[in-house]
A and B are shown apart, each in its own frame.
Chain A
Amino acid sequence: MKELICVEGLKKGFGGQMVLTNVNFSVAQGDVIAVIGPSGAGKSTMLRCLIHLEKVDGGTITVEGKPFVKNGVYESPAQIKQITSRMGMVFQSFNLFPHLSVRKNLTMPAMLANGQTKEQAEKRAEELLAKVGLRDKIDMMPSTLSGGQQQRVAIARALMMDPDIILFDEPTSALDPQLTAEVLEVMRQLAAAKMTMLVVTHEMTFAREAANKILFMCDGEIAEAGDPKQIFSAPKDSRLAEFLRGIK
């Protein structure tokens, strides 16, 4: 399988305190990777470094063969933007644009940043909203939607840009169980359609069932990586074993 993302020796600290000490992993096309680990392990920070919301202190991040940061040295802003534009991101707090309708949330970035015409963007928005089960909400304002609906709009918005991979940072942590289920259902559909995804989550059932690979992060590194079966039934790292005991 084609390698989409490769992370080598990623380091990141905040004010002298190291949060990511040495992160290494790669993502192949079609992978659905669940990132699990205790609070404060650095999962969000790792995702944010991947999509350049945080600057790394060291390491190399390669997207589709092109590194935008190499041994801690960044490419030009234009290069970074071009390379990271292949990735989409879905946030825990949705981050929809509250002043725009669902339709505009989807079409505005697609037209401005992805060069789609109004007709293309509108058509695509309708298709994607249908896909996430919200075709009838297209002219609603985000604030009138439930959290689960907002998150599904956010997923559709990310898909508008035709990303090669979508990063999810705890997409259901802000939601009730019932709303969580509807969002996870959409993500399962995406997984089934071979969308590449890197998902930070506390939803162990989702990780076990939908992911083909699990990364367990602890103390600023990937403490253990493997397929779900092995991770959940035969953890090698003692911290992972303890983490799994803690959530049962």
Chain B
Amino acid sequence: MNWSDILTTTSALMQGMGVVLILFFAVLVMSIPLGFLLTLCTRSRFAPLRWIVNAYIYVIRGTPLMLQLFFIYFGLPTLGEPFVTIFFDAMTCALTGFALNYAAYFAEIFRGGLLAIDKGQYEACQVLGLNKWQTTTRVILPQMIRVTLPSITNESITLIKDTALVFSISIPEILHYAKVAVSRTGSVYPYAIAFVVYLVLNTILQFVFKQLEKKTAY
């Protein structure tokens, strides 16, 4: 093993970086608003909606993400159309599975975040004449995001690591290329490089979120 081997292997692993980053950003962008929507549903005055959404969160959080991915990728298409068409592409399945899964976790985080907001904030909004939408978007959401930012950071770190699961539905990501390199070279160091790659990603992520926390501190 020499530097040029390391370089070759690293650049091979980098082929999987695109998938990891796409999954990461797309899933965050979809699951955070979806999660908040779910949180609002769990607080709805319409009881059946509360039950359905709570059951959904319960099932998603209580079962493996890998099973959920298999269910979407291998399972649903066996039911025929329209699933065959919709879930033909593995990446679509991965994005769907991850977004639905992470939304449930974010819903739980946001539920806690809302509980942390003083009821005096709602009352101040009401006596000032702000309507529900204004209250939610201008007062409650910003405070909730601030309160839950550390948990969002944790969830994002998990998300980066979880992207490795799409390996199981044959999407080539970092782990896939590491495995290929291991068989090609018959040595363990490609895995070691994969360790470093994930660590670097998460270090950057934590740095970014720390900055965000500082910026939104009050």
Contact = CB atoms under 8 A, between A and B. Distances in A.
Contacts of A143: 218
A248 interface: no
A193 interface: no
Contact of A91 (B120, B134, B138, B143): B120
B113 to A, nearest CB: 13
B78 interface: no
B59 interface: no
Interface in B96-129: 118, 120-121, 123-129
Interface residues of B, number: 20
Contacts of B127: 51, 53, 84, 87-89, 158
Nearest to B143: A99
B150 interface: no
Interface residues of A, number: 27
B121 A97 contact: yes
Interface string B132-176: 001000110011001000000000000000000000000000000
B139 to A, nearest CB: 6
A96 to B, nearest CB: 8
B57 to A, nearest CB: 27
Interface string A101-114: 00000001100111
A161 B129 contact: yes
| B contact face: mostly helix, strand, loop, or mixed | helix
A76 to B, nearest CB: 15
B130 interface: yes
B17 to A, nearest CB: 35
Contacts of B128: 109, 113, 157-158, 161
Contacts, number: 56
B139 A112 contact: no
Contacts of A114: 129
Nearest to A163: B127
A87 B128 CA distance: 9
A189 interface: no
Contact of B123 (A84, A95, A109, A161): A95
Contacts of A93: 118, 120
A85 B129 contact: yes
A28 B139 CA distance: 34
Contacts of A131: none
A142 B118 CA distance: 15
B129 A91 contact: no
Contacts of A109: 125, 128-130
Contacts of A96: 124
Nearest to B128: A109
A180 B80 CA distance: 72
Contacts of A99: 139, 142-143, 146, 216, 218
A81 B131 CA distance: 10
A5 to B, nearest CB: 15
Given A141-B218, A143-B218, A95 B121 contact: yes
A98 interface: yes
Given A96-B124, A113-B134, 13 more contacts: A53-B126, A91-B124, A93-B120, A95-B118, A95-B120, A95-B123, A97-B143, A99-B216, A99-B218, A109-B125, A109-B129, A113-B130, A157-B128
Interface of B: 118, 120-121, 123-131, 134, 138-139, 142-143, 146, 216, 218
5 contacts: A99-B142, A109-B128, A112-B130, A113-B128, A113-B131
10 closest A-B pairs by beta carbon, nearest first, are A113-B129, A95-B124, A109-B128, A95-B120, A89-B127, A99-B142, A85-B129, A112-B134, A141-B218, A99-B218
